[in-house]
Structure 1
Amino acid sequence: MASKEEILINVTPRETRVAVIENGLVQELHLERTLSRGIVGNIYKGKVVRVLPGMQAAFVDIGLEKNGFLHAADIARNDPAFNGEPIKDIPPIQDLVREGVSVFVQALKDPIGSKGARLTTELSMPSRHLVYLPRGEDIGISQKIESAEERDRLRGIVQEIIDQQNLKGGFIIRTLAESASAEDISHDILFQQRLWEYVSTEMKTAKPASMVHEDVPLALRTMRDLVDENLEMIRVDSRETFDKAVGFAKEFVPEAADLLQYYPGEQPLFGLYSVEQEIENAMKRKVMLKSGGDMIIDQTEAMTTIDVNTGSYVGRRNLEETLFKTNLEAATEIAHQMRLRNLGGIIIVDFIDMQSRKHKKQVLAALETAIARDRVKINITDISPLGLVEITRKRTRESLEHTMCETCPTCSGRGMVKTVQTVCYEILREVIREDRQFKAQSYTIVASPDVVDLLLDEEASSLADLQEFIDRPISLQVDTHFLQQDYEIVLV
């Protein structure tokens, strides 16, 4: 049975948040802040600052705080010197680039922690059904399109358009292209050609260590990347963003245009679907299972560990049944938490030890079934004799915790607290919620010194806009005993 899917887009001047809801449950959260937008998909004119033969890589200055990382394999695939011929052995990095030269690169992964962005010289222009590779030659197709007849049909459509328009470059046919019409694919190719023409012009005048092209913002990327046949509705709570989304959808994603709805309700959109509570829960180490068991999730620089415990669940028959049912429930919840928290890299799951081989297979099968809906590539190993399962999930952006939290100075990195910025935005949303509910004469925000300082400095304009929006005076009061994430809104 196909799942019922909805997308919620919550927009404030400083932050855009997207929640993917499946059958009433929050499955994915995407967050983009105006001051720290992700760079995946952006194209830069970089300058090679260091070549590392031992790592087969180079560091490239693209104008950001940290230099980007370019591996030899990401150069060899499309370097003009190789005329598009397949490369069996990757040439030494020093034969491909040298220090001081300029190179056009595209970001594959955002900077994460102490690591700079992962780069490639294989530039690409993504659209709804295709990815255009200006320097490629072949037509690739997603492995998830299994029908040989459909694969041949799609290849034929793309090849015919290439021949008719005498196009250069290669294409990758995406999974969402399955059952797409020739008109849809032709429309995508036209969009990509226009985009590449614009980018090519910008590349001619770009300066070293500068951005040439920026990918579209989160609200619009949502329609390009997250819309599928199960989607029933996209709700947007900002009129300005809704109008932009409608225009973008009509031009590039026409099938999504009819799904868009503007939400003007008094109750906050995320509150209507309990998304705020899910965000709060996603910040916690402990995840409670319905049976009474629990899971402890810890993120480190190298990996994420998930420890499954029986907790208060004691079962009805025997110990083996208790362990099996707890692990079975945990398997489904692990898949949910990986998507919700956007856990990436190596994930080690410590299931409770089970004696029955049959039970182990059933738990693993439940985990594989649960991750089938994940949009990110995942690999899982068998359960080891110690009850451990190793999962690798492709990492393309920071996890939710690393995006919304920072290392706590009080505990020297052993815990996490919300950033001052996160608390400020939470306060601004809470004032709107309380004003709609109580209609007080005025409001006093009591918070820690750092939060009040930010509201008086960088976020002063946001606070002024809020006062004008609710037409009520707002005052600030410092409480030195408050922790960074603590605040209180006093109604007068």
Structure 2
Amino acid sequence: MKQMIVHCTQRVTRMALLDNGSLVEYAAERDQQQGLVGSYYKGRVMNVLPGMQAAFVDIGQKKNAFLYVDDVLHPHLERQPEVKPSIETLLQPGQEIVVQVRKEPRGGKGARVTTHYTLPGRWMVYMPFADYVGVSKKISRESERARLKAIGERLRRQEEGIIMRTVSEDEPVEAVEGDLSFLRSQWEMITRRAQESTAPALLHSDLSIVQRFIRDAFNPQQDELMIDSAKAVREAEAFLNDMAPGKYKPVRFYQGQESILAAYGVQEQLHRSFGRKLTLEGGATLIWDETEALTVIDVNTAQYTGGTSLEETVTRTNLLAAEEIGRLIRLRDTGGIIIIDFIDMQREEHRKMVTERLERVISRDRTQTHILGWTHLGLLEMTRKKARHDSAGFAPVICQCCGGTGKVGAWLE
């Protein structure tokens, strides 16, 4: 069973997702600083750079957004030209264009934007110009995949694209059709605002943090939702009623003396999960080092001595580490290239067991993740897409003296 824990203050809303008591996702959002991902803007092309096959677009933010040529071509790969055209033939400085934010601004970089428009609903993702129907890879039954694809083909209009989400499995056609009608009306509103607005202008914002998690990760009939704000409870119930009329468990209003995050063990798990060195059950440890594009995770037996042989001890440690690493990657929203230095195992079947354990855990992650396999040096490579900021509201403060290295430079006398 999953539990959504929501803590609201005047400035920040914090959301934690527990799966059988274990913290698997955490995020926070300032009330006046909602994330940009998913939002639509009418922007103005400022620079076109043929050498980079990209353009910079003013969307009204501090930094101009970055638009790559692949995000200007047709969203359906089969409809794209065999030879990629120059960005100069597609865009000109001063041109006004509707874009959607794919990645948040980060560091000195502006947001990454696209013209491959998507609108996520409860049961599907609507793409106004993609011209195809897809079904989530997590739906394994071929008969159900064929049913959903047939429903999508029957409901969509010319040029429209639809991706059936995992939660659409076994849902009646009426629910899917209602979702599509709502998303079409949203798109019509966006195009109408684009016609009436002058660039740069915000046309449409994504849902709030609580609404996004309800839409994407919440089963209204099975999961529990606890909120410590009466206003937020009313808003959540109104959203649930729109999404699943009369088919959701009542939202619980928490009124305890201690913080709701402390009451449900979230605070303790956060402190335990965001350090550089993490201790696993039995005494094994993980060392977690992150850069902007690369994360390296080192597994050590440390004080763990279980098993009747060295190979058994190592394999048990790696299996335990794989379970925890899968959870932490999702919780910490780690993105980019991830290298895991498991303890060396002699037998191929043990490496396969570790890979399968990690795959099983990350299959619950909604973010696109790929395990690439083992290198010649015995390292496991994987990648994970990342669109939003780090888990806002709970991130270690970098030491001003050592810059986060744990070492302070000094001249030898």
Q: Same fold (TM over 0.5)?
A: yes
Picking from 353, 372, 390, the partner of 2:344 is 353
Residue of structure 2 equivalent to 1:101 = 95
Aligned equivalents of 1:411, 1:402: Cα separation in 2: 22
Structure 1 CA distance for aligned equivalents of residues 21 and 223 of structure 2: 12
| Counterpart residue type for residue 137 of structure 2 | Q
Shift of 1:276: 0.6
Alpha-carbon distance in 2 for matches of 1:49, 1:177: 41
Q: Are the equivalent residues in 2 in contact too, given 1:223–1:253 (CA < 8 A)?
A: no
Q: Structure 1: how far apart are the matches of 2:85 and 2:300?
A: 49
- CA radius of gyration, larger in: 1
**Number of paired residues?**
407
Would the aligned equivalents of 1:344 and 1:399 in 2 still touch at CA under 8 Å?
no
The answer to whether residue 15 in structure 2 is matched with residue 30 in structure 1 is no
Greater RCO, 1 or 2 (C-alpha within 8 Å, sep 6+): 2
Tell me, in whole angstroms, the C-alpha distance in 1 between the residues paired with 2:159 and 2:358.
43
Q: Displacement of 1:58 after TM fit?
A: 1.3
Q: Which aligned pairs between 1:76-475 and structure 2 lie closer than 5 A?
A: 76-77=73-74, 85-162=79-156, 169-228=160-219, 231-254=222-245, 257-315=248-306, 317-400=308-391, 404-414=395-405
CA distance in 1: counterparts of 2:123 and 2:353, whole angstroms: 36
Indicate conservation of the 8 Å contact 1:10/1:270, yes or no: yes
Structure 1 residues 404, 231: CA separation in 2 closer, same or farther (over 3 Å shift)? farther
- Distance in 2 (CA, whole Å) between partners of 1:341 and 1:142 is 24
| CA shift in 2, pair 1:157/1:414, >3 Å | same
Give the Cα–Cα distance (whole angstroms) in 1 for the partners of residues 298 and 94 of structure 2.
Answer: 48
Q: Secondary structure at the match of 2:126?
A: strand
Asked whether the 8 Å contact 2:28–2:392 carries over to 1, the reply is: no
Deviation readout 1:117-146 (Å, 9 max, x if unpaired)? 111112222211122222333333323333
Q: What does residue 481 of structure 1 align with?
A: none
Offset at residue 65 of structure 1 (A)? 1.5
TM-score after normalising by structure 2: 0.90
Give the distance between the partners of 1:187 and 1:114, measured in 2 at CA.
42
- What is the RMSD of the two structures over their aligned residues, measured on CA atoms? 2.6
**Larger helix proportion of the pair:** 1
Residues 28, 339 of structure 1: 8 Å contact kept: yes
CA displacement 1:90-111 (0-9 Å, x = unmatched): 3221111122211110011212
- Contact kept, 8 Å, 2:307 with 2:316, in 1: the verdict is no
Aligned CA distance change for structure 1 residues 260 and 281 (closer, same or farther; 3 Å): same
Separation in 2, partners of 1:69, 1:124: 18
Asked if the contact 2:27–2:392 (Cα under 8 Å) also holds between the matched residues in 1, the reply is no
* One of 46, 57, 61 as aligned partner of 1:60: 57
What residue ranges of structure 1 are gaps of 5+ in the alignment? 416-492
Of all paired residues, the percent bearing the same amino acid is: 37
Secondary structure class of the residue paired with 2:374? coil
Does the Cα contact within 8 Å between 1:224 and 1:253 map onto a contact in 2?
Answer: no
Deviation at 1:372, TM superposition (A): 2.1
SS class of match (1:153)? helix
Letter paired with 2:173: A
Q: Secondary structure at the match of 1:254?
A: coil
Residue type of the alignment partner of 1:140: G
- The 1:278–1:140 alpha-carbon spacing in structure 2 relative to 1, beyond 3 Å, is same
- Match in the other structure for 2:71: 74
Q: What is the identity, as a one-letter code, of the residue corresponding to 2:14?
A: R
Task: Measure the CA separation in 1 of the matches of 2:37 and 2:323.
Answer: 30
Kindly provide the CA deviation profile for residues 296-322 of structure 1, in whole angstroms up to 9, marking residues without a partner as x.
101112201101111122345343333
SS at match of 1:55: coil
Q: Is the 8 A contact 2:118 2:125 kept in 1?
A: yes
Q: Give the letter aligned to residue 368 of structure 1.
A: E
Aligned 8 A contact 1:223 1:256 in 2:
no
How far apart are the structure 2 equivalents of 1:348 and 1:249? Answer: 39
Q: Is the 8 A contact 2:371 2:383 kept in 1?
A: yes
Contact 2:100 2:114 in 1 (8 A): yes
Partner of 1:9: 6
Are the counterparts in 2 of residues 232 and 259 from structure 1 also a CA contact under 8 Å? no
